Amino acid sequence: MPELPEQIRELLASGLGVDRAPGPPGPISQVELPEARVPRDAAEALRAIVGPDAVLDDQEARVRHTRGKSTPDLLRLRAGDAASAPDLVLLPGSHDEVLAVLRACSERRVAVVPFGGGSSVVGGLEPEAGGFAGLIALDLRRMNALLALDEVSRAATLEPGLRGPQAEALLAERGYTIGHFPQSFEYATLGGFAAARSSGQASAGYGRFDELVLAMRVAAPAGELTLGRAPKSAAGPDLRQLMLGSEGAFGVITSLSVAVRPVPEVRVYEGWRLPSFQDGVAVLRRLAQDGPLPTVLRLSDETETALNLARPGEIGSGGGGGSEGCLAIVGYEGTESDVDARRARATRVLSDMGAAEQPGAGGSWERDRYRGPYLRDALLDAGALVETLETVSFWSALPGLYDEVSVALRRSLTEQGTPPVVLCHVSHVYPSGASLYFTVASAQADDPVAQWRVAKAAASDAIRTAGGSITHHHGVGIDHRDWYAREIGQLGIDVLRAVKATLDPAGIMNPGVLLPLR
């Protein structure tokens, strides 16, 4: 974990009023676990399905499968709160084993939380299992094979437990890539990417993960589904869409076929400075709607730009390293000729619209793009509250959405006595709209979990008022569930409950996640 420079600590104290440092969390052995509730006969039945070595009930396994990686998740675990820990962790090795486990759990009313990389930040791994006979975490790490590669169709069939780097390494050996690189890339799994509708940092060029999924096999308590017989079929509603974004509430994706592309010959990332966030948004919209579309296209607002570009010795000094304006990261991946052509055309658009090159910024972004989660741990140790949230809207609604969410966060945390700094960037673009990704930092209050919940609720209300969606790529989980219900309406909830009742009659799959319990 990175050490915080002294300048950062001084900035936390002077700028945010951080005046106490709770320090790092204690060892896993000190976390208090609830007594396991899974009945003995159920545990024996599960061991018979996956084998005794694939059933874990030790302290470390249970703690490491408790909740996800949101700031409230981490804060509660740091405080020794593992009340929602699973009773057992199962490591199935095949589709048939997953199917048998789900049937056994359904018969015995044991709740199941599918577990990939554990990187959910919206309560997606904290089912409401109090009314069940116990809770198991279904960890798919053993299901980690490249099952098939159709080079003619450029489609790869992979198992869901593959983490991002594992999948890319297997495909790279054959000359291919998925091109999906979210910030959680190092730990999240392919199954999790699909179940949460993940979007990677190169989504402008490769597409969102749900757009890449061609076919899948699903195990549910009621049986199995094989979906995606052919691309772009018009044979009725696309049932893949029921599983994409379902967050384990209906069943478990046990294999998936995804579109792949040749590993790019060239990767180039550049930084461009725009006079203001408004100017930058106009440039991104121009490129997204009229082209040429880069592979990576992101834009930081003035505050995020100032922090990203400030040199350590200038942090808090007002120097800012000449970091006025807003920084856009523009990246190109592909063949040398394709990259050269798109880069030349995009450069003309950027220059004509008032952008200036920012030397070194593209390389810095590429080097540091996965460091955020590690830095957050160090900031929590120092006594800061740091968390993120995201949304998406049409271009016409984006300015109002940006303003209202920023104001809601500042007002809520200031009223709690912890005035924050609020950063934002446009993280994903489309012809019709874009995603906004906010990062918030303040001093921790006496109860930082409650502190953030109040702020998050205010921001979520603002998102709804301003016409945004409650999530673009983090998912619904439990944290966004109430706002999601308002977004799709009661009839929409009833439709999804009917799907769940069909696939999961006993309601054991991630209960309370995505859909409120009755």
H-helix segments, 398-447 = 398-415
CA distance 165 to 262: 16
The angle that helices 71-78 and 372-382 make with each other, rounded to 10 degrees, is: 50
DSSP state of 163: B
DSSP one-letter string for 229-262:
SSTT--SSS-THHHHTT-TTSS-EEEEEEEE-EE
CA distance 409 to 386: 12
Element (H, E) at 45: helix 40-50
**Catalytic-labelled residue, pool 176, 206, 402, 437:** 437
**Structure tokens of 152?**
């003619």
CA distance 19 to 314: 21
Please enumerate in sequence order all residues whose Cβ is within 8 A of that of 92, keeping only pairs 6 or more positions apart, or say none: 49, 50, 54, 98, 101, 138, 140, 142, 143
| Integer angstrom CA distances of residue 224 from 95, 183, 256 | 9, 32, 14
User: For residues 224 and 308, is the Cβ–Cβ distance under 8 A?
Assistant: no
CA distance 138 to 92: 7
Bridge partners (DSSP) of residue 274 are: 326
What is the bridge-based pairing of β-strands 88-90 and 135-139?
parallel
Which pairs count as long-range contacts for 197-203, CB under 8 Å and 24+ apart, including other chains? 197/244, 197/245, 197/473, 197/475, 198/473, 199/427, 199/428, 199/435, 199/472, 199/473, 201/296, 201/298, 201/369, 201/427, 202/295, 202/296, 202/331, 202/333, 203/428
Cis status of the peptide bond prior to 292, with omega within 30 of 0: yes
CA distance 64 to 59: 9
Active site residue 437: yes
CA distance 124 to 67: 8
**Structure tokens of 254?**
């046990």
Among 127, 139, 135, smallest CA distance to 43 is for 135
CB atoms within 10 A of CB 518: 5
Cα angle value 346/271/472 (rounded, 5°): 80
Per DSSP, the chain holds a count of helices (H) and strands (E) of 18, 18
Please enumerate in sequence order all residues whose Cβ is within 8 A of that of 511, keeping only pairs 6 or more positions apart, or say none: 111, 127, 128, 129, 131, 132, 517
**Structure tokens of 484?**
């999601």
CA distance 157 to 147: 5
**Could you list the active site residues?**
437
